[in-house]
Amino acid sequence: MKTESKKLEHDCVTTLQVASYYGCKDFVQRLLEKGAKPNIQSGTYRTALWAVLHEGHKGIAELLLEKGASPNIQGSPNVQGGQYGAALQTASEMGHKEIVTLLLDKGADPNIQSGEYGTPLQAFSYRGDKEIVELLLEKGADPNIQGGEYGTALLAATASFREHKEIVKLLLDKGADPNIQGGQYGTALQAASHWGHKEIVELLLDKGADPNIQGGE
């Protein structure tokens, strides 16, 4: 296993995690055949599945999930910690769309909160990825869950300097509350106004956004 090109920083990891991180699919398969447990939590990446997600090795992710790796383990913050959140959120923050789809198909909970963006829906709303936003909503993602840097998915979509009008409309059509407060700008209306997104401002007002709410940093 060649390790010269990148360094895996860890304090306590399993052999399966290391092999998964470096993309050694044959080795991973051999370890699993010999009884390696994919859900053991340890070190920086918590589980083998997290190590895979960080590097985007879809084939190994498929193999681990087939062998019983849970996409919903978050791990105890007090025992063998790990700095990354739920698997779906990790894949979302890393931008691995194919793995996000795979995890959802394998039963990953789209509403688990962790990481910078709070939920996967917030992460992809901020990025402007309509395809994944639609998929997450189809799988039951709640657009009004609050948390993360931006507050909600709608706040994340409007906080971007890019004009994600279609995503804003999609979220509103799926029940996103335009008056929930959070994040740097306070409300979705304030965020859209800050960036000069006139069409989004009009859309929010048409959907009941209150122009008198005060807030933001």
Choose the final residue of a domain: 89, 109, 129: 109
Q: Over 80: is that where the pLDDT of 2 sits?
A: no
Say whether both 144 and 76 belong to one domain: no
Say whether both 159 and 184 belong to one domain: yes
Region 132-136: what's the mean pLDDT? 93
Total residues found in the chain within this entry? 217
Query: In the prediction, which pLDDT does 85 show?
Result: 63
The residue with greater pLDDT, 85 or 87, is 87
**Domain ranges, residue 83:** 9-109
Choose the final residue of a domain: 54, 83, 109: 109
Region 50-58: what's the mean pLDDT? 87
Distance, CA of 37 to CA of 111 (rounded, Å): 26
> Do the beta carbons of residue 19 and residue 31 sit within 8 Å?
yes
Region 132-144: what's the mean pLDDT? 95
Say whether both 137 and 202 belong to one domain: yes
Least-confidence region, from 38-42, 51-55, 98-102, 122-126:
51-55
Indicate whether 68 belongs to any domain: yes
Domain count, the chain: 2
pLDDT tens, 165-175?
999 999 999 99
CA distance to 45, 60, 86, 118, 208, per residue, from 179 (Å): 37, 42, 28, 18, 8
Q: Over 60: is that where the pLDDT of 126 sits?
A: yes
Q: What angle do CA 181, 186, 187 make, to 5 degrees?
A: 65
Say whether both 105 and 123 belong to one domain: no
Choose the final residue of a domain: 69, 84, 109: 109
At 215, the amino acid letter reads: G
Region 101-106: what's the mean pLDDT? 92
Indicate whether 76 belongs to any domain: yes
Say whether both 154 and 194 belong to one domain: yes
- Give the CATH number, domain containing residue 167: 1.25.40.20
Say whether both 52 and 140 belong to one domain: no
Say whether both 77 and 164 belong to one domain: no
Query: In the prediction, which pLDDT does 84 show?
Result: 53
121 sits in which H/E element: helix 120-127
Indicate whether 4 belongs to any domain: no
User: Which DSSP string corresponds to 124-136?
Assistant: HHHHT-HHHHHHH
Q: Please, what is the end-to-end C-alpha distance for the chain in angstroms?
A: 49
The residue with greater pLDDT, 1 or 180, is 180
Average pLDDT, the chain: 86
Query: In the prediction, which pLDDT does 72 show?
Result: 86
> For 77-115, b where at least 16 C-beta lie within 10 A, e where not — what string?
eeeebbebbbbbbbbbbbebbebbbbbbebebbbbbbbb
The residue with greater pLDDT, 1 or 25, is 25
Q: Over 80: is that where the pLDDT of 86 sits?
A: no
